[in-house]
Structure 1
Amino acid sequence: MYKLITQDYLPFLDIFSEEKPEFLLPFFESKTMQRLSDISQNCGTEYCRFFEYTFNESRLEHSL
């Protein structure tokens, strides 16, 4: 399992609160959360020509 919360990613956790709840970090690193990194948040629109698909966001990124 790769390390999700890197030093580069920590500033993004400050968007809603300056405090980083330490008790949540192990949850973010769990297998349950890590499996969301391969699931698209866009409901398959990246595979369709109808939509102008511009970015890839996983359910994990959306959850964080």
Structure 2
Amino acid sequence: MEEVCLEDVPAGAVVAAGRQSCLTVLGHRLRPAATGPRLGAVAHAAVRDATGPVVLVPDA
């Protein structure tokens, strides 16, 4: 496991870092919305644009 710190737009940085990894793990909180819970912008971009598997770990 390696922790990576990049200076970029958060969603772009996560997707870019994920291209060089076997697995991307992100913590997330579901945001309440009128139509039901939804992912935030960074988690959504990671799931949508990742080239490998993404694990979203819910906030406890």
Q: Normalising TM by the smaller chain, what interval?
A: under 0.3
Q: Which one has the largest radius of gyration?
A: 1
> Whose RCO is larger (CA < 8 A, sep 6+)?
2
TM-score, normalised to structure 1, is: 0.22
Structure with bigger strand share is 2
Structure with bigger helix share is 1
